[in-house]
């Protein structure tokens, strides 16, 4: 009596689970940067990489640095 088992015939290649895990890992790692709420204005669109600042607050922060940089040069 023939069993209705798909395994053993070798007709359908079964993907190695390790390959699937590797693919998942690759997908997770290559996923776009996770978006978080901006810690200053709360706009959703900031990233961990950008110090949790949206691009607007990043821009403001950079210009603030430029403005205050010369004044606070030797405070610490």
* Contact status: 40 vs Zn ion (CB under 5 A): yes
Q: Which is nearer to Zn ion, 36 or 40 (CB)?
A: 40
Which of 65, 69, 35, 28 is closest to 50 using CA atoms? 35
CB of 67 to Zn ion, least distance (A): 18
- Selected from 7, 17, 41, 44, the binder of Zn ion by CB under 5 A is 41
Quote helix, strand, coil % in the chain, to nearest 5: 35, 10, 55
* Contact status: 60 vs Zn ion (CB under 5 A): no
For tokens 């007709």, name the residue: 11
CB of 52 to Zn ion, least distance (A): 9
Point out which residues bind Zn ion (CB under 5 A): 38, 40-41, 43, 54, 57
């Amino acid at each position: 009596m023939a069993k209705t088992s798909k395994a053993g015939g070798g007709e359908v290649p079964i993907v190695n689970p390790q390959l699937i895990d590797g693919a998942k890992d690759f997908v997770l790692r290559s996923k776009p940067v996770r978006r978080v709420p901006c810690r200053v204005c709360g706009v959703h669109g900031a990233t961990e990489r950008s110090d949790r600042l949206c691009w607007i607050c990043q821009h403001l922060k950079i210009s603030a640095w430029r403005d205050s940089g010369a004044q606070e040069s030797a405070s610490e």
